[in-house]
Amino acid sequence: MKNTGSLSIYASFFKRPLDFLFALLATIILSPVLIVVAILVKYKLGSPILFKQKRPGLNEKIFTMYKFRTMTNETDENGELLDDSKRLTKFGKFLRATSLDELPELFNILKGEMSFVGPRPLLVEYLDLYNETQRKRHTVRPGLTGLAQINGRNAISWEEKFKLDIKYTERITFIGDCLILISTVKKVFLKEGIHSKTAATMEQFKGSKVDDNNEGN
Indicate the domain borders of the chain. 9-199
pLDDT for res 97: 87
Closest CA to 37 of 87, 86, 99, 85: 99
Four-CA torsion 162, 167, 169, 175, nearest 10 degrees: -130
- Check if the beta carbon of residue 212 is closer than 8 Å to that of residue 163: yes
pLDDT for res 201: 57
pLDDT tens, position by position, 66-96:
999 998 877 667 767 667 677 788 899 999 8
pLDDT tens, position by position, 122-148:
999 999 999 999 999 999 999 999 999
Whether residue 217 is predicted with pLDDT greater than 50 in this model: the reply is no
Whether residue 216 is predicted with pLDDT greater than 80 in this model: the reply is no
**Rounded to an integer, what distance in angstroms lies between the CA atom of residue 90 and that of residue 140?**
34
pLDDT for res 79: 64
**Rounded to an integer, what distance in angstroms lies between the CA atom of residue 15 and that of residue 8?**
10
